[in-house]
Amino acid sequence: MPFARKVATAKPPSRSAFASALRRLSRRDHSEQELRRALTDEGHTAEDVEDALVRVKSSRYVDDKTYAERFTRSRLSFHGQGRARIRHGLRQRGVDGELVDGALRQAADDGLEREALDAAAKRYWRTHARVPVPDRTRRLWAFLMRRGFPAGLVQERLRALWPAQGEILEGLEVVPADE
């Protein structure tokens, strides 16, 4: 039979859980939960995974608080994402809600969210220059909302950046969200 299926067998991992954790951490940061899932998926036993996590945490290679802060800054500065998308991303990676809120608060206090929104808005405005201004303003609003920025901040920044578009912005609804 040339097309016979290969039967998956549970083979033991080729390296220790700690070595696997270090290999993963050498590529990029991981949250504790993200690393736990990855090591488990590689076939390491629960005990080995926990031992590896204890070792990497005691060596300060994994720290969810600093991970959340770096992730937040990166997503704001380089990806132009707002707090809703960042919150969702961190929660998917298993970071505790309090740590997520703290990182988002810190970024907002530093003005990073406002800067990220302004940069994304200006870039969008330039790249869609052929679209009529009223349509471009409405589309920009929707774009920034999809990026996860809070409605109140979007309204405030668009008014500051393009004060002549005030009438168009009046018609756009500010929906309260968890900011």
CATH of the domain at 32: 1.10.10
pLDDT of residue 171: 65
pLDDT of residue 163: 84
DSSP for 11-28, written as a single string: PPPSS-HHHHHHHHHHHS
In a domain, 86, yes or no: no
d(CA 174, CA 151): 6
Report the chain's terminal Cα–Cα distance, integer Å: 60
pLDDT of residue 173: 62
Query: What's the rounded mean pLDDT across residues 48-57?
Result: 95
| Structural domain boundaries enclosing 28 | 17-58
In a domain, 88, yes or no: no
pLDDT at residue 8 above 50?
no
pLDDT at residue 69 above 60?
yes
In a domain, 165, yes or no: yes
DSSP state at residue 8: P
Query: What's the rounded mean pLDDT across residues 126-139?
Result: 93
pLDDT of residue 14: 57
pLDDT of residue 1: 47
pLDDT at residue 177 above 70?
no
Give pLDDT tens digits for 150-167. Answer: 998 999 999 998 887 777
**CB neighbourhood size of 114 (10 A):** 17
CA distances from 27 to 5, 21, 62, 97, 162 (A): 34, 10, 13, 25, 41
CA distances from 59 to 53, 54, 132, 166 (A): 10, 9, 56, 53
In a domain, 94, yes or no: no
pLDDT at residue 58 above 60?
yes
In a domain, 164, yes or no: yes
CA angle 117, 107, 121 (to 5 degrees): 5
In a domain, 158, yes or no: yes
What percentage of the chain carries pLDDT values higher than 90? 77
Give pLDDT tens digits for 13-25. Answer: 557 999 999 999 9
Query: What's the rounded mean pLDDT across residues 119-145?
Result: 94
Which residues fall within 8 angstroms of residue 159, CB to CB, at 6 or more apart? 165, 166, 169
pLDDT of residue 7: 46
d(CA 48, CA 35): 13
* Rg of the chain taking only CA atoms, in angstroms: 22
pLDDT of residue 3: 56
Number of domains in the chain: 2
pLDDT of residue 5: 56
DSSP for 50-94, written as a single string: HHHHHHHHHTTS--HHHHHHHHHHHHHHHH---HHHHHHHHHHTT
In a domain, 92, yes or no: no
Give pLDDT tens digits for 86-107. Answer: 999 999 999 999 999 999 999 9
